Structure 1
Amino acid sequence: MKTNLHYIIVSIALIFTCFLTSANNVTKNKEKFVVVLDAGHGGGDSGNLGSGYKESEIALKIVLTVGKKLEENDDIKVIYTRKEDKFVTLRGRAKIANDAGADLFVSIHCNAHNSSAHGTETFVLGLHANQRNFEIAKKENEVIFLEADYEKHYEGFDPNSPESMIGITLMQEEYLEQSIRLARLVEDSFKDKRKRNSRGVKQAGFWVLHNTYMPSILIETGFLTYKKEGAYLNSRNGQTKMSSSIIEAILAYKKNLDQNVGENIYEEMPSVVSTETKQKALLYDNITFKVQISAGPRDLEPKSYNFNGLSDISKEKVGNLYKYYHGNTSDLNEIRRLEANAKQKGYPTSFVVAFKDGEQINLSEALKTSAN
């Protein structure tokens, strides 16, 4: 337990150093949207061999297909952690993404289980909701044991210990919302476009996701141990279709990000809610409500022409992200009106946040206070 606590303390200390390092990297690639594609395993680490299929080979073929298509976009830069059958350490994969100042990190794998389990799963970093998620993360994290000096580079981290996972969830918290958004786009495309069995978006403690300082996901494209699914993933047709879903999701995510924090210029538009329909003020003492309309790595002037004509824009830098808000009021009814206004002006994922004494608090906590 002492070792695990030491690892958590070290992780917290590293947060501040990593923020500074990656902040410098992000500014170097503003002209292009940088996607790092990570084919799981490789070289002496073949991954799982369910039904005789090789995870490392299938993951690489999918990655190369995804990358080739993305590279057709002039405003996207693709970086690979590997383009051939070679072993890359977990820390090496993370370093590639961090050094590139990447906007996204997408790691691709194939699943395995000693049952008839089948279907896709896309993971973001978080504490395990159940033992099954822990086992998946444990399997992927145990690759560190293939490194001769793993004790030096992963000091105090034990893939077999649930306690060790607590420390590794800290760093990715600021990117969690965006990671979930991308993961949901991936799973929805698998299910709706490719008609695959989607097991959903999940959270688990993958070391490689923890150490990447940008929105990051790990895709389990299916179970090689399920014979029918293994054959599908090992086929050119299956790999092409799974690649198509991942491509569609990344492009949709980027489009959404561009729309939310892009530098497009819009004409001023009248408010969509008439002042005649305003409800009576519902004021909360010492609480400030805002509508969070977007978040991303780009530093924009809080002007209406950058945000579809919305006025009263403010921003806050949190780590490497800039969060953009619309409105500033203690009136709950007014902030709900502003939220509806933001959604009608092109920000469908906007939501209300609450602050007390300058610090963000849970909205539910804010609403427990007395209203006037």
Structure 2
Amino acid sequence: MTTYAIDLGHGCNFDGGAVGILKEENVINVVGRLVINKLLQLGHEVIEVRPVTANSTRHSLQQRCNTANAFKADVFVSIHANKHKGQAHGTEVFAISTKGRALAAKVLRNICSLGFFSRGVKNGSHLFVLKNTAMVAILIELFFLDSTKDVALYNAEKLATAIVEGLTAA
């Protein structure tokens, strides 16, 4: 059994995330809760780390990390969706450690098997939640909220299954 800290990105009292054709908060709430439920059904221990309230972005991020670290999770997963004015599309996963990059590659491969363009596994050393968690950590950018191509591929159930299969693959 693995313990997972799942971060439904943004969503704290003042921060709903990006808005494109779809709203990031709506997408990650649905996909993230499906991920949590699927991991629980597989017998894993899961904690959701998004705080209910915070007084700043930094405070929100620090609370997420503190909760995951106190839980002593094996894996931290932060779920997001992108927005870019222009023609950007696809999925990317950020990590710092070698184990994180290997896990990110599995998750990315599974998501891209649904038809999303692979933007690759990227260095997440600039991301607060990856730098300040004491376990293997990844941050998933599911797709671009303002890409008609990506939005047409969006299926919360399939995305959640792809993420869980990537996380739990041997």
**Structure 2 length as normaliser, TM-score?**
0.90
Kindly report structure 1 stretches of 4+ aligned residues shifted beyond 4 Å: none
Q: Residues of 2 paired with 1:114 and 1:33: CA distance?
A: 38
Once the two structures are superposed, what CA deviation does each residue of 1:167-193 show, in whole Å capped at 9, x if it has no partner?
Answer: xxxxxxxxx11101100001111223x
Residue identity over aligned pairs, in percent, reads 36
Q: Residues of 2 paired with 1:59 and 1:87: CA distance?
A: 17
Q: Residues of 1 paired with 2:50 and 2:26: CA distance?
A: 11
RMSD of equivalent CA atoms: 1.6
Q: What's the CA shift for 1:231?
A: 4.9
- Equivalent residue number for residue 168 of structure 2: 251
- Equivalent residue number for residue 104 of structure 1: 75
User: Does the 8 Å CA contact 1:186/1:249 hold for their aligned counterparts?
Assistant: yes
The amino acid that maps onto 2:48 is Y
Distance 1:94 1:64, change over 3 A: same
User: Does the 8 Å CA contact 1:118/1:229 hold for their aligned counterparts?
Assistant: yes
Specify the structure having the higher radius of gyration (Cα).
Answer: 1
The amino acid that maps onto 1:41 is H
- Equivalent residue number for residue 216 of structure 1: 137
Q: What SS class does the counterpart of residue 41 from structure 2 fall into?
A: coil
User: Does the 8 Å CA contact 1:93/1:208 hold for their aligned counterparts?
Assistant: yes
The amino acid that maps onto 2:79 is I
Alignment map for 1:192-211 (pairs within 5 Å): 192=113, 194-204=114-124, 205-211=126-132
- Equivalent residue number for residue 105 of structure 2: 184
Q: What's the CA shift for 1:241?
A: 1.0
Q: Residues of 1 paired with 2:26 and 2:164: CA distance?
A: 19
The amino acid that maps onto 2:77 is V
Q: Are residue 78 (structure 1) and residue 46 (structure 2) matched?
A: yes
Alignment map for 1:2-17 (pairs within 5 Å): none
User: Does the 8 Å CA contact 1:37/1:79 hold for their aligned counterparts?
Assistant: yes
User: Does the 8 Å CA contact 1:121/1:187 hold for their aligned counterparts?
Assistant: yes
Q: How many pairs are equivalent?
A: 163
Q: What's the CA shift for 1:73?
A: 2.2
Q: What's the CA shift for 1:227?
A: 2.4
Q: Which has the higher contact order (CA 8 A, sep 6+)?
A: 2
- Equivalent residue number for residue 119 of structure 1: 90
Distance 1:87 1:226, change over 3 A: farther
Q: Are residue 50 (structure 1) and residue 20 (structure 2) matched?
A: yes
Q: Are residue 95 (structure 1) and residue 16 (structure 2) matched?
A: no
Where in structure 1 are there 5+ consecutive unaligned residues? Answer: 1-31, 126-175, 257-372
Q: Residues of 2 paired with 1:91 and 1:82: CA distance?
A: 10
Q: Residues of 1 paired with 2:111 and 2:148: CA distance?
A: 19
Q: What's the CA shift for 1:107?
A: 0.3
Q: What's the CA shift for 1:45?
A: 0.6
Alignment map for 1:1-372 (pairs within 5 Å): 32-42=1-11, 43-51=13-21, 53-74=22-43, 76-82=44-50, 86-87=52-53, 89-125=60-96, 176-192=97-113, 194-204=114-124, 205-233=126-154, 238-252=155-169, 256=170
**Structure 1 length as normaliser, TM-score?**
0.42
